[in-house]
Structure 1
Amino acid sequence: MPGTLYLIPNTLGPTEAAPHALSHILPEQVQDIASKLEYFVAENAKTARAFLKLVAIDHPLARPLQEIQIAELNVNTPPQALAALLAPLLEGRDAGLVSEAGVPAVADPGADLVRLAHQHGVPVRPLVGPSSLLLAVMASGLNGQSFAFNGYLPTDAGQRTKRIQQLEQRSRSEKQTQLLIETPYRNGAMLEALITSCQPGTLVCVATDLSLTTETVRTQTAAKWKAQLASGQAPDFHKKPTVFLFLAQS
């Protein structure tokens, strides 16, 4: 009988190590399940240990942290290594899949392990927690009935402009909200590319540090963003996790 693969959400950024620090982010049941697991697959072992330390404040871990097995699965993990990551589950052990931030397997290499689990009949159980993408859609005021996540755009300026214009045309024809993310230190370049490439009336949302005390969400036309940046009023989003959304107007 295989074990269960629990998809355990992480915080979306630094969280103070204090009693009930996770209470506004993760349900008690999620923390309780995480505290009982002895095997984790994580995008980053150091980040996973920091997360488990927060869990342990209110939910003592099943084993001392140094005895809990944490295997890494990230963009550098070769496909042939997935079988070894799944092996403990096939032997009957439960496991937790933890992302660097937010929910695992969404914009996250953990999706490959989830797919392999399904192929081998391993039960997969997603747990409730923060998703920066859904929080951004909720707060943007853009179309929440139809939206698409496009991940990272090309870093080459010309290719990026072409891709934005393609997505804007799709947004206009399908009335679909488009979501993007960028490496945090390139947030400024991404916003500049959006307001330069999009039509003036296209609505652009910048959602930064979602669920954190420094959270900001702002939606306005590309033209208004352009005027704001021209006056030196750039968003406070340098090196901060940010989701970009836009919706073209007919």
Structure 2
Amino acid sequence: MSQPYGTLYLIPVTLGDVDPLEVMPISIKRIVELVDDYIVENEKTARRSIKSLLPEKEQSILEFSLINKFTEPSEVPSFLQPCLEGKPMGLMSEAGVPGVADPGAEVVAIAHQKGIKVVPLVGPSSILMAVMASGLNGQNFAFNGYLPIDNKDRKRRILELEQRSKNEQQAQLFIETPYRNNKMLEVLCNSLNSDTLLCVACDITLPTEFIRTQSISHWKHNKEDFHKRPAIFMIQQQDFSF
């Protein structure tokens, strides 16, 4: 009888410098005890995450395959070879949960094609936690990734998302490179209607966590400093304002 395939575990990591067991269940630790083969974006940060969760795990036995912007697509299927040999594997993101706003989604798709069992594990997702805490429409929302860098294209895209949020009552989420967060807030305040709601969820799960939803008119008079702090921006135009 052929050997059954191993399981691909989608292993969450923290969103910053915080004790992993403050934001993740103990079951994550038990899975990391079992898994020695990983698919990650960055080996150094993955090793750090594993060590913070399980300091006693021997680092020398760990094997890593890297999936990032430098990875050739033709290489990716071979990363799952340990699973095909019956071993459990772990897929880890740089922050939060794998496969959501994360290149790991490609690995998961290939695992399904090959008949490998995929098990998602509970952990912090900045996108979902931002939606939870925003007060905006948690039943209809869209994550749009990064907006264009060009000023004209970015403003056009912001206005498109605002109009969609109004037409479909759909909360629109997006992110920015952390060192450009303050500039993004300024552009939003100068581009959106005064009654459009904006939520900024910053440093989620960290001691410096900041989450606030206000109308654009309020944001214009109550600016905050989000420089170099990971943040999610959400907008929605509604029939009411705070």
- The answer to whether structure 1 residue 162 and structure 2 residue 151 are counterparts is no
Greater displacement, 108-117 / 136-145: 136-145
CA RMSD for the aligned pairs?
Answer: 1.1
TM-score w.r.t. length of structure 2: 0.94
Contact 2:141 2:172 in 1 (8 A): yes
Secondary structure at the aligned position of 2:102 is classed as coil
The within-5 A match list for 1:111-122 is 111-122=105-116
Partner residue in 2 for 1:22 = 20
Match for 2:232 among 226, 229, 243?
Answer: 243
**CA deviation vs aligned residue, 1:15-67 (integer Å, no higher than 9, x gap):** 2xxxxx3222110111110122110111111111110111114xx42xx1122
Contact 2:21 2:53 in 1 (8 A): no
The within-5 A match list for 1:39-50 is 39-50=37-48
Contact 1:3 1:91 in 2 (8 A): yes
Partner residue in 2 for 1:134 = 128
TM-score w.r.t. length of structure 1: 0.91
Partner residue in 1 for 2:53 = 55
TM-superposed CA distance for 1:75, in Å, is 2.2
**CA deviation vs aligned residue, 1:196-236 (integer Å, no higher than 9, x gap):** 221110000111000011100111111111223xxxxx323
Secondary structure at the aligned position of 2:198 is classed as strand
Dislocated runs of 4+, deviation >3 Å: none
Query: Could you tell me the percent identity over the aligned residues?
Result: 50
Structure 1 portions without partners, runs of 5+ = 16-20, 229-233
Contact 2:34 2:88 in 1 (8 A): no
Report the Cα distance in structure 2 between the residues aligned to 1:118 and 1:9, rounded to whole angstroms: 19
**CA deviation vs aligned residue, 1:111-156 (integer Å, no higher than 9, x gap):** 0000000000010000000000011011111111111100000000
TM-superposed CA distance for 1:192, in Å, is 1.4
Partner residue in 2 for 1:208 = 202
- Change in Cα spacing, 1:205 to 1:76, as seen in structure 2 (3 Å) is same
Report the Cα distance in structure 2 between the residues aligned to 1:213 and 1:188, rounded to whole angstroms: 20
Contact 1:35 1:55 in 2 (8 A): no
Secondary structure at the aligned position of 2:131 is classed as helix
Report the Cα distance in structure 1 between the residues aligned to 2:213 and 2:33, rounded to whole angstroms: 39
Partner residue in 2 for 1:171 = 165
Structure 2 portions without partners, runs of 5+ = none
Partner residue in 1 for 2:94 = 100
